[in-house]
Each structure stands twice: as C-alpha cells, then as structure tokens.
Amino acid sequence: MKFVSYEYSEGVKIGAVIDDGIIDLSDAGPSLKAVLATGPLDNLIKVAECRSPSVDLDHVVLHQVIPDTERIICVGKNYRDHAKEMGSISPTVPNLFMRTAHSLVGHQQSVLKPKVSEQYDFEGELAVIIGRGGRHIEADKALSHVAGYSCFLDGTMRDYQKHSFTAGKNFDSSGACGPWLVPAQEIPDPGELKLQTRINGTVMQDASTADMIFSVAEIISYVSEFTHLEPGDVLATGTPSGVGAGRTPPVWLAPGDHIEVEIESIGVLSNTVKAESEV
C-alpha cells in the first residue's frame, strides 16, 4: 500500500493508492504529517483496506509526499564515487544541509529551471519520512522511527552553489519528492535498494543504496544528536555518481527535459523541466 498527498476537487487530501485508484482518507486527518503525529500508519492501513478507490490516479494532482513538512534535512556526498566526481574526499561524518518545502514539487509536476542559472543539475536520492520522533536515537533502533520511504530529486543550481550552498539548493520548485510514501514495513532493509536516474530515457545514475557511506539508521542517529526529530520530517540520503556536474562535458537540465528517479520497491518519481519564464 502507498500513501499520497493529492488534490482532486477540494484542496489537498490524504489518500491510499490501490492499483490505479485512490482511496480517500481525508477523514483521518488534515495531512499525512498530522496523521503520523498521532501514531503509526498501521491504523490508516487498516482503514484503507476496508475501502474502495473513489477517483482514478491519473485524474488527480500529486503533491510532494509531506507538503507541510517543516524540515527537509539532506545529506551531501554520501556516496564515495559521487564525492570523488565532485573533487572531494569522502566525509567522516554526515555532511548536512537543509531544503525548504517551497523548493519541492510532487510527482508529474513541473520543476523549474531558473532564468538566472545555466547549471541546473539533477541528483536522484532515497527519501526517508520520519514517523516517530525522538532525540539521541541509537542507530540500532533508528529504523523503528521511520514511517516510510519515497523518491527524491535534489535539483541543484551549481553556479549558485559555488557562492551560496543554501541558494543553490533552494530555488523554488527546483526539486521533487514522491510519488508516494511506501510504509517502512514493506521495505525492511533500505540499504539494499537499486536507484536509477534517467534523463529523457537515458540512464545517468545507476547504483544501490548499499553504496551509501552512512546508512539510513546512522543518518537518523546523527541528526537526532542535535535536534529532536518530529513526525513528518524528511531526510534525503544523498546521491550516487553520475550527476551532470561530474561529467565531461557537464550535462545541465534544460526546459523540456524529462527526469525520472526510480527506486526499487518504491516506484518512479517523474518530472518535466519548465523554464521559469513559462510559469
């Protein structure tokens, strides 16, 4: 079962995806984040299993998985080959930065190439959605704090990143998260998932989350050392090699490009690039 934040006719609602339909779960709470704050997804799964889809999946707009998330914490250079292609050494502790909710869109929504940047890069990643909060979480217990997983596109303006990491990672609608949340119980080991990023059908990144320097559990534990994790927090776990900036010549995203981030057991996050001037 997969959970979505979707829009059909009356604002953003919670739903469960079954085959090609969506089961309306809006009576469970105003948002997935709010539902996660009340406890595990188990009860929501039981409710969904007793209902039938009410709208076709292709008739709705899918928003980023947790539209009202307050924190998107990202890990940089978490794959050795990516650190190498960027001219860096592998980190000895997680290298963190933040993204804003305004910088993300959902599945099949357009991502925007800013008019002020000519170096719009792609980074496919595994996203972790926190279900149970906590502080000073031990690594061997960290996965019990996960509600589920999703795909993540960490769109980056490399020219802006050179003088402002925050700006380079946070242009409005430059990244994406989706298409849905797959409950953690369906992915017992997030460290054994195939990840692939494709641009216009061409494979650009092809790796396994087994190649991550810091595992999902280690990332959760490290983040919880300095902040109390909350339900609905999103952790992006880093990208493998193959990004545009690491190629000769570099490959930058352009209007009309179609981007797919596919992760085993989760699905495909699909977006098309639009020029900022087109919006």
Q: Quote the longest CA-to-CA distance of the chain.
A: 54
Count the domains in the chain.
Answer: 2
Mean pLDDT, residues 102-108: 98
| Torsion angle, alpha carbons of 28, 33, 36, 38, to 10 | -70
Mean pLDDT, residues 113-117: 97
247 shares a domain with 169: yes
183 shares a domain with 245: yes
The backbone torsions φ and ψ at residue 66, rounded to the nearest 5 degrees and listed phi first, read -120, 85
Mean pLDDT, residues 260-269: 98
Buried b (16+ CB within 10 A) or exposed e, 219-239: bbbbbbeeeebbbbbbbbbbb
| DSSP 8-state code for residue 255 | T
**Is 15 within the bounds of a domain?**
yes
Mean pLDDT, residues 153-158: 98
Whole-number pLDDT of residue 277: 85
Give the DSSP H/E element, type plus range, for residue 51.
none
Whole-number pLDDT of residue 10: 83
142 shares a domain with 8: no
117 shares a domain with 44: no
147 shares a domain with 37: no
141 shares a domain with 272: yes
**Is 87 within the bounds of a domain?**
yes
Looking up residue 197, the CATH number of its domain turns out to be 3.90.850.10
- Which of 14, 43, 62 is the endpoint of a domain? 62
Q: Is the pTM of this model over 0.95?
A: yes
Q: What is the pLDDT of residues 180-219, one digit of tens each?
A: 999 999 999 999 999 999 999 999 999 999 999 999 999 9
Q: What is the pLDDT of residues 227-240, one digit of tens each?
A: 999 999 999 999 99
Separation CA 44–CA 51 (nearest Å): 11
Pinpoint the alpha helices (H) of the chain: 32-38, 42-49, 80-85, 158-161, 165-169, 216-226
149 shares a domain with 12: no
105 shares a domain with 40: no
Question: Do 248 and 201 form a contact (C-beta atoms < 8 A)?
Answer: no
Six-digit token string for 34: 């709010």
Six-digit token string for 143: 């996965």
150 shares a domain with 56: no
Which residues have a Cβ under 8 Å from the Cβ of 157 and sit 6 or more positions away? 114, 117, 119, 120, 121, 167, 168, 169, 171, 174
**203 three-class SS:** strand
259 shares a domain with 143: yes
57 shares a domain with 82: no
- Which of 62, 82, 114 is the endpoint of a domain? 62
Order of strands, sheet of 194-199, starting from the edge strand that comes earlier in the sequence: 110-113, 267-275, 258-263, 194-199, 202-208
Reported confidence tier of residue 279, pLDDT bands at 50, 70, 90: low
Residue showing tokens 């076709």: 56
**Is 48 within the bounds of a domain?**
yes
Report the percent of the chain where pLDDT is more than 70: 100
Which residues have a Cβ under 8 Å from the Cβ of 53 and sit 6 or more positions away? 18, 19, 20, 21, 22, 23
Q: What angle do CA 180, 255, 175 make, to 5 degrees?
A: 35
Q: 11: phi > 0 → left, psi -120 to 50 → alpha, else beta; which?
A: left
108 shares a domain with 33: no
Mean pLDDT, residues 102-112: 98
Reported confidence tier of residue 278, pLDDT bands at 50, 70, 90: confident
Whole-number pLDDT of residue 187: 97
Separation CA 257–CA 98 (nearest Å): 26
- Which of 22, 41, 62 is the endpoint of a domain? 62
Domain containing residue 6: 2-62
Mean pLDDT (the chain, rounded): 96
**Is 67 within the bounds of a domain?**
no
